[in-house]
């Protein structure tokens, strides 16, 4: 039973971490990638953050980066919701309630 459920639980956890790390880095949190290595990949979060650090950033550039950040966040939320629904499909009602209490499901 766990062999079937575990990958779905892991997918939810990975998507939660992915979304949370985007928010942390937006507000000056860790700039490290998964596993502690510095991430060289530019993300909408890092691009917006970098732009906001520039004193000469134009309103147009900020609007464009903000739109990209919002689109990325929306995509991450959709991916998390899909992972949660995939997990929910495998669970009994009791397991679902336990997953809600554990913060895996809404």
Q: Is the predicted pLDDT of residue 28 greater than 90, yes or no?
A: no
Total domain count, the chain = 1
Is-contact 31 25, C-beta < 8 A?
A: yes
Query: Is position 106 within any domain?
Result: no
Q: Is the predicted pLDDT of residue 32 greater than 90, yes or no?
A: no
What does the pLDDT look like over 43-75, one tens digit per residue? 999 999 999 999 999 999 999 999 999 999 999
- Residue bearing tokens 């004193």: 55
What's the rounded Cα separation, in Å, for the pair 9 and 14? Answer: 9
What does the pLDDT look like over 76-88, one tens digit per residue? 999 999 999 999 9
Query: What would you report as the CA-atom Rg of the chain, rounded to the nearest whole angstrom?
Result: 17
Query: Is position 68 within any domain?
Result: yes
Average pLDDT over residues 81-103: 96
Higher-confidence residue of 75 and 36: namely 75
| Domain containing residue 84 | 2-27+42-101
Query: Is position 19 within any domain?
Result: yes
Query: Is position 82 within any domain?
Result: yes
What is the structure's pLDDT at 34?
46
């Amino acid at each position: 039973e766990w062999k079937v459920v575990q990958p779905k639980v892991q997918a939810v956890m990975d998507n939660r971490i992915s979304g949370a790390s985007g928010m942390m880095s937006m507000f000056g949190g860790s700039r490290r990638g998964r596993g502690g290595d510095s991430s060289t990949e530019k993300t909408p979060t890092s691009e917006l953050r970098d732009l906001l650090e520039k004193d000469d950033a134009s309103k147009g550039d900020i609007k464009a980066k903000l739109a990209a950040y919002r689109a990325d966040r929306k995509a991450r939320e959709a991916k998390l919701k899909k992972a949660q629904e995939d997990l929910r499909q495998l669970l009994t009602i009791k397991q679902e309630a336990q997953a809600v209490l554990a913060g895996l499901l809404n």
